[in-house]
Amino acid sequence: MKKISIINEIDEMLTTYCDGCFVRSQIRKDEGKTAAHRFCISNCTVGTQLQFLGEELNKIGTRTKQ
């Protein structure tokens, strides 16, 4: 994948699934910002996919620096 297409995919996922996420906003309200963030990166399937895409971006970034 090219860097721009990965960035576009991340942006689309954030806009589609994360903006206005009821689960995240409820956890943030009940337990705080840290707990909501932890949920997103540990338990949410969208968060898992975003992490994967971020790792792909890092791979591209390290290849271009060599």
Cα separation, 43 vs 48, whole angstroms? 8
Q: What is the pLDDT of residues 9-21, one digit of tens each?
A: 999 999 999 999 9
| Sequence spans of domains, the chain | 3-65
**Per-residue pLDDT in tens (0 to 9) along the chain, 66 residues:** 589 999 999 999 999 999 999 999 999 999 999 999 999 999 999 999 999 999 999 998 776 554
Whether the predicted model's global pTM rises above the 0.85 cut: no
Handedness of CA 48, 49, 52, 58 (dihedral sign): negative
